[in-house]
């Protein structure tokens, strides 16, 4: 457990992952989509039985109308989504022990 916490403190908590833009075609090439997101981690808390970490995701997507020349002509849609999660992890050993003691 100590190795996991150390790794989380040094490499994950307080960091943001940014994806490269993913470009894809829709409607047989009449539309083009562009997607990217950012995932941020913060507020690492831990105890002997496990840890908790907040995760915040911002997703960006744009849909373009394509011209006959294959170039982006007009922006059809912009979609921005925000997701918030609290990740909880508890040691199976501790959970089993607590269940055995407290039923």
pLDDT in tens, 21-73: 999 999 999 999 999 999 999 999 988 878 899 999 999 999 999 999 999 99
Residue 93's pLDDT band, with cuts at 50, 70 and 90, is low
d(CA 57, CA 41) in angstroms, rounded, equals 9
pTM: 0.72
Residues near 33 by beta carbon (within 8 Å), at least 6 away in sequence: 23, 24, 25, 26, 61, 62, 63, 64
pLDDT for the residue numbered 94 = 52
d(CA 51, CA 9) in angstroms, rounded, equals 11
Q: Residue 34 has which token pair?
A: 């562009």
């Amino acid at each position: 457990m100590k190795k996991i916490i150390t790794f989380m403190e040094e490499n994950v908590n307080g960091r943001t992952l940014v994806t490269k833009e993913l470009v894809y075609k829709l409607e047989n090439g009449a539309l083009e989509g562009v997607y990217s997101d950012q995932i941020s981690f913060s507020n690492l808390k831990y105890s002997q039985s496990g840890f908790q970490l907040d995760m915040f995701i911002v997703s960006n997507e744009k849909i373009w109308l394509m011209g006959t020349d294959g170039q982006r002509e007009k922006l059809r849609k912009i979609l921005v989504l925000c997701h918030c999660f609290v990740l909880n992890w508890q040691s199976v050993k501790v959970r089993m022990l607590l269940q055995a003691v407290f039923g």
